[in-house]
Structure 1
Amino acid sequence: MSRPVLLLLFSLAIGSPAAAQYLDDEYYPYAEREERRELLATDSTLFYRAIQSSVDLYGELTDFNLPQVAMKRRGLGWDAERISLSGMELSYRHLSVLRLLGATETRYAGLVPAPGIPGGSGGVRLFEFPVEEPMQPFLASVRFTDRNYLLGAKVAASGDLGRGWTASLAMDARTGRDLHVQGVFTNAMTAALRVAHAWSSDHRLSLLCILPPSTRGTRLSSSEEAFSLTGDRFYNPAWGYQDGRIRNSRVRREFLPLLAFRYEGRLSAQTSLAVNLGGEAGLSRYSMLDWYDARTPMPDNYRYLPSHTGDLETERAWLAADPRYTQINWDELIRCNRMRNGEAVYALDDRVERTTDLHLDAAFTTALDRALTLRYGLTLRYDRSRSYRQMRDLLGARYVTDIDRYLIDDDTYSNLLQNDLRHPDREIREGDRFGYDYALLTREARLLLQADYRSDRLRADLCAELGSAGISRRGYYEKELFPGDLSYGPSRTLRFSPWLVKALVGWSFSARSYLEGILFASADVPRADQLFYQPLYNNRPVELPRCERTYAAELSWRRTGAQFDLRLAAYAAAVYDRLETRRYYDDLASLYCDMSVSGIGLLSCGVEAAAEIRLSYRWQLALAASAGRFTYIRDPEVTVLSDVDNTAVLTRATARMADCHVGGAPQLAAVSELTYFGPRGWGFHLSAGYAGLRYVEPMPLRRTDRVTAQAGLTPEAFEAFTRQERLSDAFTLDASLFKSFYFDRSRLTVALMLRNLTDASDTLYNGYESLRVRRISAGDATSWTPHATRYTYAYPRSFYLTISYRF
């Protein structure tokens, strides 16, 4: 059956990107810079404004040193932090190469706006290229690790080409297999070029090009039963043996080049202009096994586990880690295909997303006087994402017919099988598109106004944004279930009016002490793929889509001195009208369904504290801690439609989520780091971290009256469906040792880092509740229980060895 895989993919899509981001790429901040940072001593009575800069001290200390678990800072989503390259929004995949090119990175904590960038509720990470040349323009580095890949290399060079031209070139490559998780590997190379030209001190033009091809084998979550039976916390059900060699079914292949132009010029003595034009365009492929009128090939499916089969031989096979049971049996899939006279019952296909994301930003800056600066401009965005399936490997078969095989045995809809009614019964070969083909289009325009007032003691910022956005779907296949414009051609355009207001007031009591308060309100456009019940082949949008509203406040205090730097912050943020859509199999209705959860409300409140203490010339201590409460404050409404005819299965039912916590967001966190900078360029870091009060990702459907009344018939069953599982607390202990060798104009640095020295193998990275419900029959009695929670375990002890040379 093809539809189960499609629905599973979309149901996992919400939780997987964040985990993939963390597991696929780590930034080690000590790899190429291991000297002591000197503190400049100035006459502090004259400079009140220096302390008004809101450096994200907590984020700098915790990003790398906290335990290797899911970390939604302040309980907010992964996209709450804005990443900007001089005003143009970027994705995380480009950060490493931007650092190599010499871009400076400034982090603005929480609600603090950056110059010309109001930001959201989760801070701003701003990258900018300095005008001056680096003192050491060349870098060559190699690294060895046992996580995600084995070998990596970096090179970077920059120089003056003459006549006002400068150029920077960088490359970051990595390759090899993970030594802890079978099937995980990385083959990636990111190359970047930046060319800049200055006509004078008043006019500069730059071009940035980044080419990031990558291929990565990924890991999947699984149930606790599978982990226990195999005795392997890093069991990965995504791979298996083919002809005696390991093959992963979940491989992500990406090539998303970035091209960006930037012009900076002074229009008058008071006004300057900056224009950014750029975007990403490319392909992202994610392979998955599919099956047609056959048993699922995924080895950890609940039907294959001993708890379901009750078979002693199956349990023995799992306990013995027999790969014919615990992993994908590729050879058996190929054998089954060869017995079917050319038509596949198993196949490996790609879920392809062809992205075109374009941005145009024009920003003016006018300095009215020494104290008041106005920043204003326009942002235009065009985002088109075309998605389709493409056959990668027929596993020994010759073709597969492009029909909806899930409906073959359906008494009502078995005569409506065509995925593409305009090309019926098309035979799909390797490389062909099939199944679905559609595009999501987002067009958005925003006006920005920011007023910055600076005096010796007073800082005041006022930011406002007003925009208009339109989102639509265009289908390129006419689904027989939804003929005509129900699936083919453009849908109606959904209109939104996003806005943002942010106000900041700060006062410097002295050059060492500063207090700041911020108020924030915004309405953001929902993600395009969340606005349609079934974007694969249905033009029907959700009912009454709204902007997601956020109201937040923050109060922070900073104290600095010759021996320490301290920042305290208290915050609160309320989110309303969040929207989520999912596709899943409804066991109670025995139907594949499309679900919309609307009116989700969240509350995040807490405190953060961070301090850097210079104990002596060579010793430095860093401390950070946070405590918060991240909960659902509204009971959202759940609507469920049948996937085959859009009939209502559940209409605006209340999901009782008010006592649930936000998943993947530790409510207690602490980190400490001790650093020693020894003589002759050597030193070490010791760090310890803690993350507590963590919970699995909750599912609203399980908390509707329909599920609890029909399946929660006993107190134990009701508790199983409504109780949110708390994950165990996580601890980490890391250490690194480094040595730098200094020459006339160059430096060689060797750094070794060991992560998770305690080798805690029972630390869960994250978990999420299943939407599925299991039916248990015993004679005439029937009972229900939720499917097992899916988990991912954090990595054990691992190492990074880096050798870098700057010259």
Structure 2
Amino acid sequence: MKQRLGLAIVLFCLIPALFAQQKVKQNAREDNASFMFTESQLNEDDDAAQSTSALVTSNNDVYLSNVGYLFSPMRFRVRGYDSQYNDMYINGIQFNDVETGRFSYGLIGGLNDATRNKEGISPFEVNNFTYGSIGGATNINLRASQYAAGSKLTLSGCNRNYILRGMYTYSTGLMKNGWAFTGSVGYRWANEGNIEGTFYNAFSYFLSAEKVFNSQHSISLSTWGAPTERGQQGASTEEAYYLANSHYYNPNWGYQNGKKRNARVVRSFEPSVVASWNFNIKDDMKLVTSAGFKYTSYGTSALGWNGNAADPRPDYYKKLPSSVFNVYNSVPTGEQLQQFNDLTDNWKNNKSTRQLDWDMMYFANEQANALDKETLYYVEERHNDQLAFNFSSVFNHTINDHNSYVAGIAVNSTKGMHFKKMKDLLGGQQYTDVDKFSVRDYGFNSSVIQNDLDNPDRRIGEGDKFGYNYNIFVNKQSAWLRYQGNSGSFNYFAAGKIGSTQMFRDGLMRNGRAPLKSLGSSGTAKFLEGGVKAGLTWILNGNHSFTVNAGYEDRAPLAYNSFIAPRIKNDFVKDLKTERIYSGDLTYNFNTPVVMGRITGYYTRFKNQVEMEAFYNDSEARFTYLSMNGIEKEHWGVEAAATFRLTSNLSLTAIGTWSEAKYMNNPVATRTYESESESNEDRVYAKGMRVNGTPLSAYSLAIDYNLKGWFLNLTGNYYHRVYLDFSSYRRLESVLKSDNEGAVDANGNIIGMSVPSQEKLDGGFMLDASIGKYIRLKNGKSISLNLSMNNILNNTDLRTGGYEQNRGDNKQNGELREYMFSKNSKYYYAPAFNAFLNIGYRF
């Protein structure tokens, strides 16, 4: 055992150095062309429940302990909340990215066995590690003494984003000398995943050491990371899917010298460490103090092109048959009809037509080299790197059997580093760091075109930073207190918190479009945060209870949304305020010998939200920033779940939710073009639009059977009311009025022209099943076998979401305009039939 332990310690000490050169960060949508999924949406692991919501680890709740895994193929979000409202803690330290608010599951990717010790809480649930967010929270316990002694080897095979996975975990348990060690390694791989043109290559490591000095004091240290490189899938239009004869067509790849190459590659690495001190002051008093550090490197590659080079994307709308003529209401000429038929035939029968043409791009650059001209095509890598430090201390005091309280403080300091660098010039020799859109508008002699005025006309080589380079600094401090008690048939709690957030941008390039506002500090924006909440549970008897909760919170805006055009200048969003959140729910809980579950009604109101979009504007051929401020949203609905114990071996579980989540006003907007220095005030007509990318209605019926170590599950899920991510640009007041058909009344509502409706996607049914066996061996050893199968009926028509492109003909009215909008939308589909075989051996 000592030899194995020594080898594990040496290995884990070397791992961070071996992978120090790899890169990563949590993903956020940068533009419509680069719409991507975060690790939390990939549904890549057999326990994908953790990838959907922080709530899914709530062990005592039939609804929350099931919906995350059951509905994960449709990227279901509990109550429609954005994932920024789900808090993720590791050993008491919050690991959400403070810029985007979200937790990157790539941080712990491939460490399933190491991260199984977790506590999940619902939005108002009493706990001992956090004040809690409206979306709930999860705390992963990585203390070495909490792992069972022994080894576990896991081998997996599947047809998902990766096809093979291996994990090995070893733990000493708490030894007589007070030490405990746990280590884990994992590897996930696919030369090509379930989507053509994708690939997966990921290593993961974890090491935890803990020293228990006595009954009062223990110190633990944990470190982990998961360096990953993966090729991505891209969304496309229904026309492209039809012509490719597949809803899983991927436009992100093409052949280069006969080999597949993906243009959208993510490289990610987030080495992290947490140190914790547990101090049991008395039997009824405990202090847990932790400090954590995380370095995030996240790079996403993307194609770029210069000058008059043609758009290389195979599904660019001008390359599709529908671009030849309006098939909806016009009669084509003979020439147009022939061109339409030729394009259709090529798309359907010539695979190279619907993929990237790498050889063409290399050839074009060779021609440019021969003429001593600028590189036409290249691959850039957009980086969102980060350094983050966190500190937390939580004090628990049990006053008596009926009263207790918990108090905590937390501090976070984060530096976000945003830049792009040249990854591959594709054989080109010259690239000058100027803005191509500004060159078109102002000419080569204008200083406006310079991305870096202090280094004008700088030649860029592979590995050089260019385009933009800036840092975002965010500092947060908070303190909270919660009291809980019980009296007779009533349990109750009351809690409050106060905090502050400071943020500023530090520009590292003096941009020609904003020479006085791009370099140096933006100045600091400061926000005072706080919140209160309370809850009361009335226990009728041991089988029935009612719970009512209510809360209010002031929350600082996210740094990601707080700047008008962060790539080029320091300006904050005008009239930036703290977000206000009002929330409450009412629950009936039941637990009888035959059935257990709950029914909950909830309501949440958001005010003063801020959203920012960055995208290439096809209609105006310019890169555009669109910031919305003062957004109001309303979320409400019903959740219900029940498990019926039909026999000692057979149970039936029914789950359902119907929810509403929509915009309640038309927020103020600021539009900025990357080729201009000025910003334009506007308004987005978003009232009535729904939150996108999640089913607002979902229902499930499952049968579970177990006997003598065997278990069998059969589940049917139905999804409904999934809405497409609407284009804010298309609903700008200035865009809607551009044809002079519309006017605005005294209340700010458009008259004489309707606002485009939001597309609601068709619902659908999915059947899943799993079968497994647990085998006990001698001397405490065991084997676990599990085969899970999703979408057995192979429903390939279930759309999980997508987005409207910022292009369309607003001058068309009614049915024609709706057709034009939907034709330009891009969609994602739920995975086709897939299976996951997992074999675990514990020894």
Normalising by structure 2, report the TM-score.
Answer: 0.86
Equivalent residue, structure 2, for 1:176 = 190
Letter in 2 for 1:514: S
**Equivalences for residues 169-318 of structure 1 within 5 A:** 169-268=183-282, 270-293=284-307, 294-310=309-325, 311-312=339-340, 314-318=342-346
Q: Any conservation in 2 of the 1:388–1:435 contact (CA below 8 Å)?
A: yes
Paired positions, count: 769
Whether 2:599 is the aligned partner of 1:568: answer: yes
**Equivalences for residues 322-401 of structure 1 within 5 A:** 322-341=350-369, 343-401=374-432
Q: Return closer, same or farther for 1:126/1:340 CA change in 2, 3 Å cut-off.
A: same
Q: Return closer, same or farther for 1:514/1:504 CA change in 2, 3 Å cut-off.
A: same
Letter in 2 for 1:794: A
State how far apart, in whole Å, the 1-side matches of 2:267 and 2:367 are.
Answer: 31
> Among residues 718, 725, 731, which one is paired with 2:759 in the alignment?
725
Equivalent residue, structure 2, for 1:75 = 80
Equivalent residue, structure 1, for 2:722 = 694
Letter in 1 for 2:47: Y
Q: Any conservation in 1 of the 2:119–2:140 contact (CA below 8 Å)?
A: yes
State how far apart, in whole Å, the 2-side matches of 1:77 and 1:336 are.
Answer: 43
Equivalent residue, structure 1, for 2:98 = none
State how far apart, in whole Å, the 1-side matches of 2:78 and 2:49 are.
Answer: 23
Q: Return closer, same or farther for 1:116/1:413 CA change in 2, 3 Å cut-off.
A: same
Local SS of the residue matching 1:471 = strand
Equivalent residue, structure 2, for 1:452 = 484
> Among residues 428, 437, 441, which one is paired with 2:469 in the alignment?
437
**Equivalences for residues 269-668 of structure 1 within 5 A:** 270-293=284-307, 294-310=309-325, 311-312=339-340, 314-341=342-369, 343-411=374-442, 415-416=446-447, 417-455=449-487, 457-484=489-516, 486-586=517-617, 591-649=622-680, 651-653=681-683, 655-668=684-697
How much does 1:720 deviate? Answer: 8.7
Letter in 2 for 1:450: R
Whether 2:739 is the aligned partner of 1:708: answer: no
Equivalent residue, structure 2, for 1:23 = 42
Runs of 4+ in 1 over 6 A off after TM superposition: 717-720
How much does 1:434 deviate? Answer: 1.1
State how far apart, in whole Å, the 2-side matches of 1:573 and 1:413 are.
Answer: 52
Structure 1 window deviating more from structure 2 (308-317 vs 166-175): it is 308-317
Q: Any conservation in 1 of the 2:619–2:806 contact (CA below 8 Å)?
A: no
Q: Any conservation in 1 of the 2:29–2:36 contact (CA below 8 Å)?
A: no
State how far apart, in whole Å, the 2-side matches of 1:347 and 1:313 are.
Answer: 32
Equivalent residue, structure 1, for 2:21 = none
Local SS of the residue matching 1:154 = strand
Q: Any conservation in 1 of the 2:144–2:181 contact (CA below 8 Å)?
A: no
Q: Any conservation in 2 of the 1:624–1:671 contact (CA below 8 Å)?
A: yes
State how far apart, in whole Å, the 1-side matches of 2:524 and 2:464 are.
Answer: 30
Q: Any conservation in 2 of the 1:146–1:178 contact (CA below 8 Å)?
A: no
State how far apart, in whole Å, the 2-side matches of 1:468 and 1:133 are.
Answer: 34
Q: Any conservation in 2 of the 1:290–1:346 contact (CA below 8 Å)?
A: yes
Percent identical among aligned pairs is 24
> Among residues 10, 13, 20, which one is paired with 2:30 in the alignment?
10
How much does 1:764 deviate? Answer: 0.6
State how far apart, in whole Å, the 1-side matches of 2:156 and 2:839 are.
Answer: 6
Local SS of the residue matching 2:600 = strand
Equivalent residue, structure 1, for 2:331 = none
Letter in 2 for 1:454: N
**1:601-620 CA distance string (max 9 Å, x none):** 11111111112222212112
Equivalent residue, structure 2, for 1:50 = none
Q: Any conservation in 2 of the 1:359–1:382 contact (CA below 8 Å)?
A: yes
How much does 1:783 deviate? Answer: 13
Equivalent residue, structure 2, for 1:47 = none
Equivalent residue, structure 1, for 2:808 = 773
Structure 1 window deviating more from structure 2 (699-708 vs 630-639): it is 699-708
**1:151-207 CA distance string (max 9 Å, x none):** 111111111454100011112211014453111121111110111111112111111
Whether 2:824 is the aligned partner of 1:760: answer: no
**1:234-257 CA distance string (max 9 Å, x none):** 011100000000000000000111
Q: What RMSD in Å do the two structures reach over aligned CA positions? A: 2.8
Q: Any conservation in 2 of the 1:501–1:522 contact (CA below 8 Å)?
A: yes
Q: Any conservation in 2 of the 1:478–1:488 contact (CA below 8 Å)?
A: yes
**1:71-104 CA distance string (max 9 Å, x none):** 2221211222212224211333345666512652
State how far apart, in whole Å, the 2-side matches of 1:300 and 1:652 are.
Answer: 31
> Among residues 150, 155, 162, which one is paired with 1:137 in the alignment?
150
Q: Return closer, same or farther for 1:111/1:790 CA change in 2, 3 Å cut-off.
A: farther
Q: Return closer, same or farther for 1:775/1:292 CA change in 2, 3 Å cut-off.
A: farther
State how far apart, in whole Å, the 1-side matches of 2:488 and 2:781 are.
Answer: 41
**1:407-461 CA distance string (max 9 Å, x none):** 2232478512221122222211111111111001101111111112134632211
Local SS of the residue matching 1:710 = coil
**Equivalences for residues 101-120 of structure 1 within 5 A:** 101=114, 103-120=116-133
**1:281-326 CA distance string (max 9 Å, x none):** 0311100011111111111111111111352355234443423321
Q: Any conservation in 1 of the 2:626–2:669 contact (CA below 8 Å)?
A: yes
How much does 1:107 deviate? Answer: 2.4
How much does 1:591 deviate? Answer: 4.9
The runs of 5 or more residues in structure 1 that have no matched partner are: 1-7, 32-52
Local SS of the residue matching 2:575 = coil
Equivalent residue, structure 2, for 1:794 = 830
The runs of 5 or more residues in structure 2 that have no matched partner are: 1-27, 51-57, 96-102, 326-338, 744-750
Q: Any conservation in 2 of the 1:598–1:637 contact (CA below 8 Å)?
A: yes
State how far apart, in whole Å, the 1-side matches of 2:244 and 2:529 are.
Answer: 50
Q: Return closer, same or farther for 1:766/1:718 CA change in 2, 3 Å cut-off.
A: farther
Q: Return closer, same or farther for 1:211/1:250 CA change in 2, 3 Å cut-off.
A: same
Equivalent residue, structure 1, for 2:785 = 750
State how far apart, in whole Å, the 2-side matches of 1:182 and 1:685 are.
Answer: 30
Q: Any conservation in 2 of the 1:240–1:323 contact (CA below 8 Å)?
A: no
Q: Return closer, same or farther for 1:631/1:30 CA change in 2, 3 Å cut-off.
A: closer
Letter in 2 for 1:552: S
**1:100-138 CA distance string (max 9 Å, x none):** 126522322243343241211112223235786555632
Letter in 1 for 2:519: Y
State how far apart, in whole Å, the 1-side matches of 2:144 and 2:733 are.
Answer: 62
Q: Any conservation in 2 of the 1:186–1:217 contact (CA below 8 Å)?
A: yes
Whether 2:702 is the aligned partner of 1:673: answer: yes
> Among residues 145, 150, 174, which one is paired with 2:163 in the alignment?
150
Local SS of the residue matching 2:113 = helix
How much does 1:384 deviate? Answer: 0.9
State how far apart, in whole Å, the 2-side matches of 1:560 and 1:297 are.
Answer: 60
Equivalent residue, structure 2, for 1:35 = none
State how far apart, in whole Å, the 2-side matches of 1:218 and 1:268 are.
Answer: 53
**1:380-424 CA distance string (max 9 Å, x none):** 101111011111111112241112222223247851222112222
Letter in 2 for 1:739: K
Equivalent residue, structure 2, for 1:59 = 64
Local SS of the residue matching 2:73 = coil
**1:600-658 CA distance string (max 9 Å, x none):** 11111111111222221211222111112222212212222343333344x242x3322
Higher relative contact order (CA 8 A, sep 6+): 1
Equivalent residue, structure 2, for 1:4 = none
